[in-house]
């Protein structure tokens, strides 16, 4: 879809130092705990969430350019959760990340940017946030802006609620609208199977549905938030059973209300041996927790065989946040 680094301009072609290629990647996330408070005056909801970065990565490649150009390639072209639905204009979060960093650093916003997607779009996995985080790291290196990690995190928060976590990775408690992070030292590795639906879900639509269900008294009003501590304790030291018992997501009810097919997907996952299954973030991805790596591989095969997901991925977490590659 775009010029490859070997296409004559990059370091692979033996070009000079002024003609560089920089590659960064950033992970998908699941919310092992997602408690949503009431709607704030600014249109966001107060959150308490436990983010876990998992081993599914998007890659962003940048090189010198004239202005910003953006291309997108990768899995699922054409599907509404695939690369085919990702915009390649200024509305792409990566483009906004480039403008923001250039403005912050006082440099011209010149770069040819290629996003290579493995994380499905509109899936509740923070794929767009991962792309923005990887772009900030890659462009900081390309432009030699030497932004501090704290600067990048501040810019990330202006781009979206999940972007700071895509930079940080690992495990973190998110508060505010999700952008205020407290890192959690987590030793326990957990194994998950992600079941990705054919049709995406819009995050604002899922939050709006939560507000609607709350106004009708169909779900608790969010005045009292569930504690993230049991999930944090389980991610610190296991066992899987403790994590399975503690998983919680206030956006699951509205996601199921908008997409009743997800109920069956959750049941299929637990019937196929998942320790627990929940909607990831605002959905529609189902995150199924497995007891160990072998169980995750078996669970992934079983879920793929059901034919209800567009794609199925076995992943583990925690993994690091946005990093340069090579």
Which of the residues are catalytic?
29, 162
Residue 61 Cβ, how far from ligand C5P at the closest point, in Å? 24
CB 242 within 8 A of CB 289: no
203 lies in the site for ligand C5P, by CB under 6 A = yes
Smallest Cα–Cα separation from 71: which of 152, 154, 131?
A: 131
Stretch 173-202: interaction string toward ligand C5P, x if CB under 6 A: ----xx------------------------
Q: Specify which residues 193 forms β-bridges with.
A: 288, 314
Choices 19-27, 38-46, 102-110, 272-280 (CB under 6 A): range interacting with ligand C5P: 38-46
Residue 107 Cβ, how far from ligand C5P at the closest point, in Å? 25
211 lies in the site for ligand C5P, by CB under 6 A = no
Among 11, 19, 20, 44, binds ligand C5P (CB under 6 A): 44
Residue 159 Cβ, how far from ligand C5P at the closest point, in Å? 8
C-alpha 47/C-alpha 174 separation (Å) is 7
Instruction: Find the binding residues for ligand C5P in span 117-176 (CB under 6 A).
Output: 160-162
207 lies in the site for ligand C5P, by CB under 6 A = yes
C-alpha 186/C-alpha 20 separation (Å) is 36
Length of the chain counted residue by residue: 326
Name which of 57 and 207 has its Cβ closer to ligand C5P.
Answer: 207
Name which of 20 and 85 has its Cβ closer to ligand C5P.
Answer: 85
Residue 160 Cβ, how far from ligand C5P at the closest point, in Å? 4
Burial of 235 (0-12, 13-18, 19+ CB in 10 A): buried
Instruction: Count CA atoms within 13 Å of residue 246 on its CB side.
Output: 21
Residue 7 Cβ, how far from ligand C5P at the closest point, in Å? 33
Give long-range contacts, CB 8 A cutoff, 24+ apart: 84-88.
Answer: 85/121, 85/122, 85/200, 86/115, 86/117, 86/121, 86/128
214 lies in the site for ligand C5P, by CB under 6 A = no
C-alpha torsion angle, residues 66, 67, 68, 69 (rounded to 10): -50
Name which of 14 and 204 has its Cβ closer to ligand C5P.
Answer: 204
C-alpha 119/C-alpha 126 separation (Å) is 8
Contact residues for ligand C5P, defined by CB under 6 A: 43-45, 47, 160-162, 177-178, 203-204, 207
């Amino acid at each position: 879809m775009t010029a490859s680094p070997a296409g004559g301009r990059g370091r692979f072609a033996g070009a000079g130092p002024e003609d560089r290629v920089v590659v960064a990647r950033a992970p998908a996330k699941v919310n092992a705990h997602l408690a949503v408070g009431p709607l704030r005056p600014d249109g966001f909801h107060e959150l308490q969430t436990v983010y876990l970065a998992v081993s599914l990565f998007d890659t962003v490649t940048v090189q010198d350019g004239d202005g910003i150009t953006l291309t997108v390639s990768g899995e699922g072209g054409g599907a509404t959760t695939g690369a085919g639905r990702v915009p390649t204009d200024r509305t792409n979060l990566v483009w906004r990340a480039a403008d923001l960093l250039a403005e912050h650093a006082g440099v011209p916003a010149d770069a040819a940017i290629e996003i290579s997607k493995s994380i499905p779009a509109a899936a509740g996995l923070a794929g767009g946030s991962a792309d923005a985080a990887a772009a900030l790291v890659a462009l900081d290196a390309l432009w030699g802006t030497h932004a501090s990690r704290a600067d990048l995190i501040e810019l990330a928060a202006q781009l979206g609620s999940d972007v700071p976590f895509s930079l940080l990775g690992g495990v973190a408690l998110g508060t505010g609208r999700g952008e205020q992070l407290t890192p959690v030292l987590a030793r326990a590795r957990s194994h998950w199977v992600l079941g990705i639906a054919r049709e995406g879900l819009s995050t604002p639509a899922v939050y709006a549905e939560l507000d609607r269900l709350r106004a009708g008294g169909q779900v608790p009003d969010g005045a009292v938030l569930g504690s993230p501590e049991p999930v944090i304790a389980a991610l610190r030291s296991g066992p899987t059973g403790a994590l399975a018992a503690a998983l919680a997501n206030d956006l699951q009810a509205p996601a199921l209300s908008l997409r009743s097919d997800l109920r069956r997907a959750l049941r299929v996952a637990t019937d196929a041996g998942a320790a627990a299954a929940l909607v990831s973030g605002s959905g529609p991805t189902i995150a199924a927790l497995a007891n160990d790596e072998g169980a995750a591989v078996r669970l992934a095969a079983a879920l793929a065989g059901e034919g209800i997901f567009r794609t199925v991925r076995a992943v583990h977490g925690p993994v690091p946040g946005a990093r340069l590659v090579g």
